[in-house]
Amino acid sequence: ATFLVETIDLIHRHMLAKWRVARLDADRLAAHWNAYVREHLLPRLHGFELMMAPYAIAHMKIGLKLAETGYTFPEDGPRVNVFLTNTLEPPHEIQPQLEAMAPMLAHEARAANLTKERLSTTVIIGNPPYAGHSVNNNVPSIVDAVHEYKRGYPDLQKPGQGKWLQNDYVKFIRFAELRLIGTGIGILGFITDHSYLDNPTFKGMRRHLRASFPWLRIADLHGNSKKKERTATGGKDESVFAITQGTAVGLFACGPGLEPSEMDFNLFGTASFKFEALLSRPLTQQHLHVLNPTEPFWLFKQQEQAGRKDYETGWPLPQIFDRNG
């Protein structure tokens, strides 16, 4: 529940600052905050967690954070809306065996189903799993939804290409995209594998995201040990997580009247340097580069344009070589 705890902390600081301007004393601040949490915050804050242990820890962390802010839990107050469920699964029928053997889990499943059916989402944040060998290929609805990223690209219809487009983090991005498009306005913030920024396999995905979200900011945190990238001075480049894959933070926004704006920035160096840079400088103070995603690859990275027209007049490799090499 790291993201939800930080969200509560941010909202708490914002609301206190607002009420202090109105010169509320300590008792009235506490009363306003308790009313706000009960009537507005908890009913609008939702989380989905697949595994039991993180689910339990999430409830504990959120409870501790709310208690730290001075919230007192009334007996008839709203629950913490973190549900034990697979985010990517649509609402489904509760099995009679579950009702008989584990009524509490059946109750949780019904609550998750109801939330998925009724929830109108405007902000989605998280750190979805990265798995090329997806464990969610048995969820037909999201597998079919990701196929949209291949539309119009015959080369992406091949099974080998399609497999990598079914990475779990891609499924979560597609899930979030559909939820926000359905609402018509919103913000998506995910930290994921950074492969989708420039890998040709994800060109249809980039084109689709650009159409859905006219405003985007990409923080490429690099750290891909397979690429063996270095800093400008030759220093080592580390992942912000203890993994071999590089990562990126993607921020996407959609809504009426939103001016198209596409920018990114890059962070190379040690993990501690990257943490410090992200914590000490807000997005508006980063050295942002303007992106210009265009056919055929719609890259979410800066691309050298000098000589590009000459390059594009050359023979494509598929025309030069036989398909079998």
CA distance 107 to 102: 9
Q: What is the DSSP letter of 269?
A: S
Mean pLDDT of 225-232: 91
| Measured CA distances, 135 to 86, 116, 129, 238 (Å) | 11, 20, 10, 28
Question: Rounded to the nearest 10 degrees, what angle do helices 168-183 and 203-212 cross at?
Answer: 20
Stretch (H or E) spanning 310: helix 308-312
pLDDT digits (tens, 9 = 90+) for 58-117: 999 999 999 999 999 998 889 999 999 999 999 988 877 777 777 888 888 889 999 999
198 pLDDT above the threshold of 80: yes
pLDDT digits (tens, 9 = 90+) for 26-38: 999 999 999 999 9
CA distance 213 to 6: 24
pLDDT for 242 equals 86
User: What is the percent of the chain with per-residue pLDDT over 90, rounded to a whole number?
Assistant: 73
Which DSSP string do the residues of 60-98 spell out, in sequence order?
HHHHHHHHHTT----TTSPPPEEEES-TTSPP-PPPHHH
List, in order, residues 6 or more apart from 191 with CB less than 8 Å away: 127, 247, 248, 249, 250
Which DSSP string do the residues of 106-148 spell out, in sequence order?
HHHHHHHHHHHHH---SEEEE-----SS-S-TT-HHHHHHHGG
Question: Phi/psi class of residue 265: alpha, beta or left (left: φ > 0; alpha: ψ in -120 to 50)?
Answer: beta
325 pLDDT above the threshold of 70: no
pLDDT for 32 equals 97
309 pLDDT above the threshold of 90: no
- The answer to which of 98-107, 204-213, 228-237, 247-256 has the lowest mean pLDDT is 98-107
CA distance 260 to 230: 32
CA distance 300 to 27: 50
CA distance 74 to 223: 46
Question: Positive or negative, the Cα torsion across 276, 281, 282, 283?
Answer: negative
Tokens of 299: 């890259």
pTM: 0.90
Mean pLDDT of 124-149: 92
With contact defined as beta carbons under 8 Å apart, do 258 and 214 qualify? yes
Q: Residue 83's closest CA among 61, 44, 116, 125? A: 116
